[in-house]
Chains A and B, each alone.
Chain A
């Protein structure tokens, strides 16, 4: 429905900016508490939901196995995992609160129509800890939207918040650009659940410099961080810095935006990774999936041209999940280098040097550290080292793929946005949920499914608290 028709019903009890998991959980929670709710989603209907479209699971604590989870995952274990992946760089009290709330989220989100399936195929390692959405994130979103609309939540697409009217600690109204017009929408409370800023390359450059021009954005092109910027400019407290993000190595041939899951490559462990100068630059055998997956984006971001090449040989081609683009293939290393437009002599020298350094002789086993390593190299490979010697030879060009960003606004346990006044005074009626406040939980690092936990848990809290405020 066009916004100018809906506006006559205002002012609203709650205005939600954004249209993903966090926004829908906030809207549904507030609507179930009897409040009038308007969602303004900047994207068109097909692209609604930001990065939720590209997700597929959520990490929630639970005491027992279920139909879709293979065993218990206690709050303590969840916290341990979170502390480990963030290196302790988290608001621990807030994280504890989130983890405690995640327990009831499993049932709550299913009551909103979301369906789970057991983990299958390539995701068995997460079968105990993570709940997988049947049909993936877009299916989950479709269920949430159907529920929200059935409950009477109004949703407007192609509706971007372009200005906020904030008086001191109090939200008054937002200006929403829709269908060529700027419309003032007043509401008693405001939930900012409109994602990060990873599609705003200029903002990424504030942290990364010109390197950011070579980053690929794995998710929605609509996460430009405009609301985040407006909130910070209006006196809200910033958390995180612009370099912090989830960045993995993805196929360099992927589109600039929205390539999603299908361009990821998890073959680093099976060969060597060289930069464009044909030099290896990091231990490819340091750790097993998924940790090794999440460090390579940053590593490649710091290489010349922000590009690297994963090189391996014939026996490894079937050892990892297929991806969208076929590998570059050649019968000799020289020809492979030529196809990659790299210096063939240096390329061959690097592989030969690596092959000569391989020691171990244990059976290759990529599921755990197998003791096959290199000896005497300036940059070693500490596990899964195998000679690259069986043609055909393969390579994937890889670039940093930004999944999401961590810079956002600081919140408290009620999901209230805190003021940048030196005391961290809570704002009066402004809340944040999802990627825009993920930095409160994730100072750095990542573990699969936590983004959706942050979105759903703080979304529900924000909706409930906003509903109380409007009472």
Chain B
């Protein structure tokens, strides 16, 4: 079969080997999904790749892994396909090259935006106001009025949503184009199942024992770190949303006391983000070398760094909001958050979207396959 890239051709070769063996079918979702196919088009491979968590259990279990002449390294090749797929489906197409040297791009954008916020804050308010705003009743809003924040972040947020939606839609259309001949249709239960599997990271456990690390010992830490990061992120998002509702619905303006919902959610979420991302980075560095896609380390690291930065600057802002550092921290925090929003469609953030969609497709395929067996 013709493939768009050499990596996809290699993935096809591996899936043909694996489909003749099937010993790994109990480990995760990739292999049962593979077994429902006898040939692997680019869309199939992108789908399978986005089901893979790179836990590397199948690599350690494989009798055909290197140095065997069949050289089967599924986690590494699927990582490459997966990372390529983020760029392939990104919208608009003109921004797809951002996935090349992704770490550099995101680093530059972040530095630029932080500088702009700092520069703007000083220019707008003057240095004296920046270092004394913590004493005013308006606090943050003395430096940047709420409406200005909304005017800056609202469009950035909406653009990110649009771009992520367009990318996700292209991925979804591609992977669901195949006719499975089983008569099943995508339904609500599949999306619910996918939510369950994505939320619990059902398949990120090496078949039960956790991921293999550099020392070939299994551990479940990646799952823990990812949970802390993901749910920390959600709590931070909930904190911001609650704050927005307070502002517009209740007329209660920031800053809020330490016991109030936006602060509690933000604090717990921020701690989750900082601890979780630090753990993820450590796990990434300790991961078994042979199964990593080292060419994309920058993309992974940039996303982890942005989440870590969001959590850390947010927490610092909370704890130091009554000191003269507040003004500078606010500008840095806003610059980091703006970068997170703007670059979300062009970095590792999209992995969650594609993973969820792939799981939704898998839930429907598995349900469809089970129909004739139950009958």
Q: Which residues of A contact B (CB under 8 A)?
A: 46, 53-54, 56, 115, 117-118, 120-122, 132-139, 142, 255, 258, 260-263, 318, 321-324
Complex CA–CA separation, A421 to B45 (angstroms): 63
Q: Is A121 within 8 A of B63, CB to CB?
A: no
- Chain B residues with Cβ below 8 Å from A258 are 63, 68-69
Name the residue on B nearest A258 (C-beta): B68
The answer to whether A324 and B67 touch (CB under 8 A), given A121-B35, A134-B207, is no
The answer to whether A261 and B61 touch (CB under 8 A), given A115-B207, A115-B208, is no
Complex CA–CA separation, A428 to B236 (angstroms): 72
- Chain A residues with Cβ below 8 Å from B268 are none
What's the dominant secondary structure at chain B's contact region?
A: loop
Q: Is B26 within 8 A of A135, CB to CB?
A: yes
Complex CA–CA separation, A142 to B23 (angstroms): 15
> What are 29 A-B pairs with beta-carbon distances under 8 A?
A46-B65, A46-B67, A54-B63, A56-B23, A115-B207, A117-B25, A120-B26, A120-B32, A121-B22, A132-B26, A135-B23, A135-B57, A135-B58, A135-B61, A136-B24, A136-B61, A136-B63, A137-B63, A139-B207, A142-B60, A142-B61, A260-B63, A261-B21, A262-B64, A263-B20, A321-B20, A321-B22, A322-B38, A324-B20
Complex CA–CA separation, A54 to B62 (angstroms): 9
Complex CA–CA separation, A118 to B17 (angstroms): 22
Please give the distance in Å from B343's CB to the nearest CB on chain A: 37
Q: Is A134 within 8 A of B21, CB to CB?
A: no
Q: Is A135 within 8 A of B17, CB to CB?
A: no
Complex CA–CA separation, A56 to B207 (angstroms): 15
- The one of A135, A260, A318, A323 in contact with B207, judged by C-beta atoms closer than 8 angstroms, is A135
Most chain A C-beta atoms within 10 Å of own C-beta, residue among B23, B27, B60: B23
Residue B229 lies at the interface, judged by CB distance under 8 Å to chain A? no
- Chain A residues with Cβ below 8 Å from B63 are 53-54, 136-138, 258, 260
The answer to whether A324 and B16 touch (CB under 8 A), given A136-B23, A138-B61, A262-B64, is yes
Please give the distance in Å from B1's CB to the nearest CB on chain A: 11
Complex CA–CA separation, A323 to B22 (angstroms): 11
Complex CA–CA separation, A262 to B38 (angstroms): 14
Q: Considering only CB atoms and an 8 Å cut-off, how many residues of chain B contact the other chain?
A: 29
Name the residue on B nearest A116 (C-beta): B26
Please give the distance in Å from B53's CB to the nearest CB on chain A: 15
- Chain A residues with Cβ below 8 Å from B46 are none
Please give the distance in Å from A366's CB to the nearest CB on chain B: 16
Name the residue on A nearest B27 (C-beta): A135
The answer to whether A260 and B64 touch (CB under 8 A), given A134-B208, A322-B16, A324-B16, is yes
- The one of B32, B35, B61 in contact with A139, judged by C-beta atoms closer than 8 angstroms, is B61
- Chain B residues with Cβ below 8 Å from A135 are 23-24, 26-27, 57-58, 61, 207
- Chain B residues with Cβ below 8 Å from A138 are 60-63
Please give the distance in Å from A312's CB to the nearest CB on chain B: 16
Complex CA–CA separation, A139 to B207 (angstroms): 11
B228-247 CB mask vs A (1 if < 8 Å, else 0) is: 00000000000000000000
Residue B19 lies at the interface, judged by CB distance under 8 Å to chain A? yes
Complex CA–CA separation, A117 to B32 (angstroms): 13
Most chain B C-beta atoms within 10 Å of own C-beta, residue among A54, A135, A137, A323: A135
Please give the distance in Å from B357's CB to the nearest CB on chain A: 24
- Chain B residues with Cβ below 8 Å from A121 are 22, 25, 32, 35
- Chain B residues with Cβ below 8 Å from A322 are 16, 19-20, 38
B6-31 CB mask vs A (1 if < 8 Å, else 0) is: 00000000001101111111110000
Please give the distance in Å from A9's CB to the nearest CB on chain B: 24
Name the residue on B nearest A317 (C-beta): B38
B49-78 CB mask vs A (1 if < 8 Å, else 0) is: 000000001101111110111100000000
Complex CA–CA separation, A132 to B61 (angstroms): 14
Q: Is B32 within 8 A of A318, CB to CB?
A: no
Complex CA–CA separation, A261 to B62 (angstroms): 12
Complex CA–CA separation, A115 to B208 (angstroms): 9
- Chain A residues with Cβ below 8 Å from B57 are 135, 139
Q: Is A260 within 8 A of B19, CB to CB?
A: no
Q: Is B20 within 8 A of A262, CB to CB?
A: yes
Please give the distance in Å from A157's CB to the nearest CB on chain B: 13
Complex CA–CA separation, A324 to B77 (angstroms): 18
Name the residue on A nearest B26 (C-beta): A117
Q: Is A262 within 8 A of B17, CB to CB?
A: yes
Name the residue on B nearest A219 (C-beta): B63
Complex CA–CA separation, A122 to B209 (angstroms): 25
- Chain B residues with Cβ below 8 Å from A132 are 26
The answer to whether A262 and B21 touch (CB under 8 A), given A120-B26, A134-B27, A134-B207, is yes
Complex CA–CA separation, A322 to B39 (angstroms): 10
Complex CA–CA separation, A258 to B72 (angstroms): 14
Please give the distance in Å from B61's CB to the nearest CB on chain A: 4
- Chain A residues with Cβ below 8 Å from B23 are 56, 133, 135-137, 139, 261
- Chain A residues with Cβ below 8 Å from B27 are 134-135
Please give the distance in Å from A48's CB to the nearest CB on chain B: 11
Name the residue on A nearest B217 (C-beta): A146
- Chain B residues with Cβ below 8 Å from A261 are 20-21, 23
Please give the distance in Å from A120's CB to the nearest CB on chain B: 5
Complex CA–CA separation, A263 to B64 (angstroms): 12
Please give the distance in Å from A306's CB to the nearest CB on chain B: 22
- Chain B residues with Cβ below 8 Å from A262 are 17, 20-21, 64, 70
Name the residue on A nearest B209 (C-beta): A115
Name the residue on B nearest A140 (C-beta): B61
Please give the distance in Å from A50's CB to the nearest CB on chain B: 11
Give chain B interface residues in 201-217, CB to chain A under 8 Å.
207-209
Complex CA–CA separation, A263 to B60 (angstroms): 21
Complex CA–CA separation, A133 to B27 (angstroms): 11
Complex CA–CA separation, A390 to B64 (angstroms): 36
Complex CA–CA separation, A121 to B24 (angstroms): 12
- Chain A residues with Cβ below 8 Å from B19 are 322
Please give the distance in Å from B72's CB to the nearest CB on chain A: 10
Complex CA–CA separation, A134 to B28 (angstroms): 11
- Chain A residues with Cβ below 8 Å from B22 are 121-122, 321
Please give the distance in Å from B258's CB to the nearest CB on chain A: 47
Complex CA–CA separation, A322 to B144 (angstroms): 64
Q: Is B26 within 8 A of A324, CB to CB?
A: no
- The one of A53, A133, A139, A321 in contact with B60, judged by C-beta atoms closer than 8 angstroms, is A139
- Taking A132-B26, A262-B17 as known contacts, 4 extra A-B pairs with beta carbons closer than 8 A to each other, sorted by chain A number, are A134-B208, A142-B60, A255-B69, A322-B19
